[in-house]
Structure 1
């Protein structure tokens, strides 16, 4: 898996990058000019696309691949 084969959209990549930095939903929403619900929607899609159980597992998986 690499960035080119990663099934995430550009916005999902932005969300996951901010989550890796330790930001909370409200902070991410503010930075990306979207709603809290929008951030949670992207988090849900990330988890679903990467076939993991939660966002922490998604972050760990991406870290394992150096992404």
Structure 2
């Protein structure tokens, strides 16, 4: 998994690349926008089991997440 300091900027970049807002991504992930915001700014990281869904939603390889 990305280090906590690396994940937020990575996720923000992926959201921009995909043209997704935090609200759009939150809906696809089944979490609140506040949770996604916490991920993007580095206050929290997703649980390990969420990474497969993140990969599917963003079209990112799991290796890029790990």
TM above 0.5: no
Structure ID, larger Rg: 1
Question: Please, what TM-score do these two structures have when normalized by structure 1?
Answer: 0.43
Question: Please, what TM-score do these two structures have when normalized by structure 2?
Answer: 0.43
Higher helix share: 2
